[in-house]
Structure 1
Amino acid sequence: MVEDEDAVLALLDDEYARAILAHLTSEPMSVDELCTACEMSDATAYRRLNRLLEVDLVTEKQEIDPDGHHYKRYAATVEAVTVAFADGAYEVDVTRSTTDPADRFTELFEGLS
């Protein structure tokens, strides 16, 4: 069971949060890449990413580009969200990715080399 079921459901009701999650299931991305892919502003992306981080639906990793600048890449930690209704209540279940996000970052980095 998810710690904050209402927060997860509210996020999934948001089109930008859903778009971010959809794109991050294919590969880790920076905010700039997400803004381009999802057609949103930086401010919108950062707000949604912060909310997604709070409920552990994404993870972040600090990267250093060849010029020495720091930036973050984000990856989805979720494969599925299920909502079950029974006995006058509901329960939200989050299925986490079987691939460790750190491994996904390593695979991405090695693919660039």
Structure 2
Amino acid sequence: MDDESSIEEILDTIGDEHARTVLASISREPGSAKELATRLDLSQPTIYRRIDLLEENDLVENRTLVADDGNHYKEYTCNFNSTVISLEDDEYDVRIFREENLPDRFTQLWDELGVNEH
């Protein structure tokens, strides 16, 4: 997938009201599809369709949990801190900022600056 199509897909996804509602909810508190349907007063199929869209664009992540009765279910959470959408020279740029380990961020910044160890 090229950058243009991924930008279009991300903009389409966050342009969807229900997808934004789901994303906002799981950014505050992770939840299963059933919990989200109750919390947001939306149907489970609506929740699953939006979760699928958000997962396709790497905006959420899930983990499998085991309920007290032994059944498995997925809990969804937002996997980024912020998004910046900018328009310059008739082109959109979407930047997604994810929480990273501080030492990893420092190392990445150090590498980007081209600082070599002697």
Q: State the TM-score, normalized to the length of structure 1.
A: 0.80
1:59 aligned counterpart, secondary structure: strand
Which residues of structure 1 form unaligned runs of 5+? 100-113
- Structure 2 CA distance for partners of 1:9 and 1:49, relative to 1, 3 Å: same
Q: Which residue of structure 2 lines up, in the alignment, with residue 21 of structure 1?
A: 23
CA distance in structure 1 between the aligned counterparts of 2:72 and 2:46, rounded to whole angstroms: 20
How many corresponding residue pairs? Answer: 99
**1:71 aligned residue (67, 70, 73):** 73
Percent same amino acid among aligned pairs? 33
- Structure 2 CA distance for partners of 1:42 and 1:51, relative to 1, 3 Å: same
Post-superposition offset of 1:95: 1.2
Q: Deviations over 1:31-85 (max 9, x none)?
A: 0111011111111100110110011100011110111011100000122121111
Q: Which residue of structure 2 lines up, in the alignment, with residue 91 of structure 1?
A: 93
Alignment of 1:1-113 (within 5 A): 4-98=6-100
Structure ranking higher on relative contact order (CA contacts 8 Å, 6+ apart): 1
The structure where strand makes up a greater share of residues is: 1
CA distance in structure 1 between the aligned counterparts of 2:69 and 2:28, rounded to whole angstroms: 26
- Structure 2 CA distance for partners of 1:2 and 1:27, relative to 1, 3 Å: farther
Name the Cα RMSD after superposition: 1.8
- Structure 2 CA distance for partners of 1:68 and 1:2, relative to 1, 3 Å: farther
Q: Which has the larger radius of gyration?
A: 2
Q: State the TM-score, normalized to the length of structure 2.
A: 0.77
